[in-house]
Amino acid sequence: NTVSVIGLGYIGLPTAAVIASRGIKVVGVEINQHAVDTINAGNIHIVEPDLDIVVKSVVSTGNLRATTQVEPADAFMIAVPTPFKHGSDDSHSPDLSYIESAAKAIAPVIEKGNLIILESTSPVGATEKLAGWLKEARPDLTFPQDVGDQADIKVAHCPERVLPGYVLQELVSNDRVIGGISSACSAKAVELYKTFVRGECIVTNARTAEMAKLTENSFRDVNIAFANELSTICDQLHINVWELIRLANRHPRVNILNPGPGVGGHCIAVDPWFIVDSCPEQAKLIKQARLVNDGKPYYVIDQIKQAADEFKKPVIACLGLAFKADIDDLRESPAVQIVEQLANDHVGELLAVEPNIKELPSSLSQKNIELVSLKQALEKANVIVVLVDHKEFKSADKSEFARKVVIDTRGIL
């Protein structure tokens, strides 16, 4: 049996590597030639703990190979991005063009008996669309949306749910929601996932599986928005929000998440919009939560500006640039958004401390932001802004902070 994984990014590559580590032949298809060459040399082009070791080993045994060309396989797993398109009227509609391209790429090589799985987080209805695109390209084959269980081609949605930083563990240990277009599609998908998933494989239909994934991330977004809103209310009322949340969480049925400088990453700030786009009339709370979380960086920027105004020569140290603790991923990071805006507005001298990277991306270094150690930052700065709760900051000697104006968006103090 061979599995073809379409898209070797943050989800596709670990998935391909884990399946290959079970002795299954995996071919990864990726349009980025540099990524293909890197992987075939046994290296990785993304950052994820231990992934390099697994990839090196499965490439050396020949179980994983990357290519830019689609080839026949028994199963195809599509793990391509599903970003959103910004409308002129503040709308955010899902961009399914990568899924469509993947469908058009594999259509010529699919054969009777093949299983096609959509792993990308998708709006409700996307798996049916995928099946439609395949059918359009291959009128010689039968599809489950027309003939149900008897179809030549099986199609299912199985959303990834792994947490960046813990991908290799969670790929294996998490339960999986598997939504086939017919029950035979689900059954065939379960068979494949059972080869590497230790969690439970729970079967539903494709639309419910799509919505389940969007719901998980929206649940988190709404709950973080609640915490972020509390933090601004507490500032108004001169209450320490961290103490407040600690106290409220002593209630057996209350579990408030942590406020922060905003919500980053590639999922939680995106997926709720897919629900809003599908049902704008109904999804009022979900939309409001997005707006609250997207507004939080601007609130923090205002706080920093006010603090800087107290100094003739403000030197602002921003602790953390990553989108969350203990990772080096700076993409879609509210911390980066804040630092960039401060630079654009010439708020003062800007120092950034990010223990997980060796040099600043050019977009930041061009703006005269300087990457320094925590020690240097504490020596030089008069304003300290905690943007990420990295372990290096949590364990730092806090007496050093006492002589500074501190804005602690993560509550590490």
Q: Which residues are catalytic?
A: 213, 267
Distance of CA 77 to the CA centre of its chain: 18
Q: In terms of CB distance, is 134 or 327 closer to ligand SAJ?
A: 327
Q: Is 163 in the site for ligand SAJ (CB under 6 A)?
A: yes
Q: In terms of CB distance, is 195 or 255 closer to ligand SAJ?
A: 255
Q: Which amino acid is at 30?
A: E
Identified binder of ligand SAJ from the candidate list 122, 145, 217, 337, rule CB under 6 A: 217
Smallest distance, Å, CB 32 to ligand SAJ? 20
Q: Is 161 in the site for ligand SAJ (CB under 6 A)?
A: yes
Q: In terms of CB distance, is 326 or 400 closer to ligand SAJ?
A: 326
Identified binder of ligand SAJ from the candidate list 18, 224, 316, 381, rule CB under 6 A: 224
Q: In terms of CB distance, is 135 or 161 closer to ligand SAJ?
A: 161
Tokens 């509210």 -> residue: 334
Smallest distance, Å, CB 4 to ligand SAJ? 21
Identified binder of ligand SAJ from the candidate list 258, 288, 341, 356, rule CB under 6 A: 258
**Subset of residues 107 to 146 that bind ligand SAJ, contact rule: CB under 6 A:** 121
Smallest distance, Å, CB 24 to ligand SAJ? 23
**Subset of residues 265 to 284 that bind ligand SAJ, contact rule: CB under 6 A:** 265, 267-268
Nearest Cα to 151, choosing from 111, 99, 209?
111
Q: In terms of CB distance, is 188 or 324 closer to ligand SAJ?
A: 324
Smallest distance, Å, CB 259 to ligand SAJ? 7
Smallest distance, Å, CB 268 to ligand SAJ? 4
Q: How many residues bind ligand SAJ (CB under 6 A)?
A: 20
Cβ atoms < 10 Å from Cβ of 33? 10
Q: Is 229 in the site for ligand SAJ (CB under 6 A)?
A: no
Q: Is 257 in the site for ligand SAJ (CB under 6 A)?
A: yes
**Subset of residues 37 to 76 that bind ligand SAJ, contact rule: CB under 6 A:** none
Residues 6+ apart with CB under 8 A from 211: 124, 275
**Subset of residues 316 to 375 that bind ligand SAJ, contact rule: CB under 6 A:** 323-324
Q: In terms of CB distance, is 63 or 333 closer to ligand SAJ?
A: 333
Smallest distance, Å, CB 212 to ligand SAJ? 11
Q: In terms of CB distance, is 271 or 349 closer to ligand SAJ?
A: 271
Rule CB under 6 A: which residues touch ligand SAJ? 121, 160-164, 216-217, 220, 224, 257-258, 260, 263-265, 267-268, 323-324
